[in-house]
Structure 1
Amino acid sequence: MSPHPTGVASSGQPGLATLSPSWNNPAAMRAPSAEFAVLGALLAGPAHGYRLRRRLEAGLGPIWHIAPSQLYSLLSRLEREGLVEGVVEAQGARPPRRVFSLTPAGERAFWDWATAPVRHARDVRLELLAKLYFLRRHAPERIPALLSAQAERLERLRARLARLEGLPSDDPWLGRLAARFRLRQLEGLLAWLEEARTSYLEEVSGA
């Protein structure tokens, strides 16, 4: 599969069903689009539902969990949207099964998602890590560009926040405190992104 897509805008991405974070408070986290995780898992080759779920668990299991019923629902949706193609495969005496593969449109949609920075700081913990996981396996040379683009986006958010005296609140002290919290969060994420970029370049260079 080619890691150099063309012609798919963000507005062309499919709907946003989500994977459930595997820790105790899933409502507190914004999980990335499960559709793109499924498309990414199919980059390794065609697979039936069970094998596809095993791929997702092996790579992203420490972060997310996806139920079998949700996976099959996603596959049906992706097939209707023309992003995956399913064919029936005979299994001798056992019931036939459907094997899914990426279509060219599905591949383009995946790469459009995987190579773009996440929009919000809260999405770094899950969605950016998912993108890095797939890039490590299928287009590692694109990791530095993604990390740099993500840092640029968060730096713009940090600079905008630094100009504010506080966030809107009828308690000015609390508004200032909330602004400082978000500012420190962004600074921490920027430091982490620089560490990630440096460690990747050191790994590639053999340092």
Structure 2
Amino acid sequence: MGELPPLSLADWIVLTVVDEQPTHGFAIAALTAEDGAVGRVWHIPRPIVYRCLDRLTGLALIQVETTEAGSRGPQRSILATTPAGSAAVAEWLHEPVPHVRDMRSALLAKLALITRRGEDPAGLIAAQHDILAPVRDTLRRRHAAATGFDRTLLLWRLENAEAAVRFLDAIGRSSPAPPPDDAG
């Protein structure tokens, strides 16, 4: 299939939810609603869910598996990932995020999705720690030598990196992976 174009976090979340089991857009929208099991980490409005589904179908990452009668409306399409979609999810889900600023969004979403699958997030947590610890150490050195506003800015970045590493250390100590949380 070749290299994928960049996908948004919403695209990745929708693709990963479809990869869990064949499903339909309304069920995905319920999971990603503000009070949904995934939406409490990263809310995706219903129109965006359907836009993601259209895009992912166009990229041949998901496909219509079947259609069924809706309980209160038109037929609904049951969607499943293609082999390319499943492979993309397997790679993305266990890839650490590149920046501390992505931890609140992408990393927490990945941890929620890994937990939903009943998988152990230890590999992702360790890989994320391996990326962030050197960043923290560099920020420590740069902060010590900085002056003026640069020192203030570096302190802000350092404190965020320190908190991120502490978070990873804390969740890395908790094991095994908790059971999937479908209750929201």
Q: Post-superposition shift, 1:16? A: 3.0
Q: How does 1:50-69 map to 2 (within 5 A)?
A: 50-57=26-33, 58-69=36-47
CA contact (8 A) 1:14 1:35 kept: no
1:181–1:73 Cα change, 3 Å: same
Q: How does 1:1-207 map to 2 (within 5 A)?
A: 12-17=3-8, 33-57=9-33, 58-87=36-65, 89-91=67-69, 94-138=73-117, 140-141=119-120, 143-164=121-142, 165-166=145-146, 172-201=147-176
Deviation readout 1:31-82 (Å, 9 max, x if unpaired):
xx11110111113311121112113332122233222221111111101111
Residue 49 of structure 1 aligns to which amino acid in structure 2? G
CA contact (8 A) 2:19 2:89 kept: no
Residue 81 of structure 2 aligns to which amino acid in structure 1? L
CA contact (8 A) 2:64 2:79 kept: yes
Gaps of 5+ in 1: 1-7, 18-32, 167-171
Q: Post-superposition shift, 1:187? A: 1.1
1:203–1:130 Cα change, 3 Å: closer
Deviation readout 1:76-113 (Å, 9 max, x if unpaired):
11011110002552428953222211111101111111
TM-score where L is the length of structure 2: 0.83
Structure 1 segments, 4+ long, off by >3 Å, are 11-14, 201-204
Percent pairwise identity: 29
TM-score where L is the length of structure 1: 0.75
In structure 1, the residue matched to 2:182 is: none
TM-align CA RMSD: 2.5
Gaps of 5+ in 2: 180-184
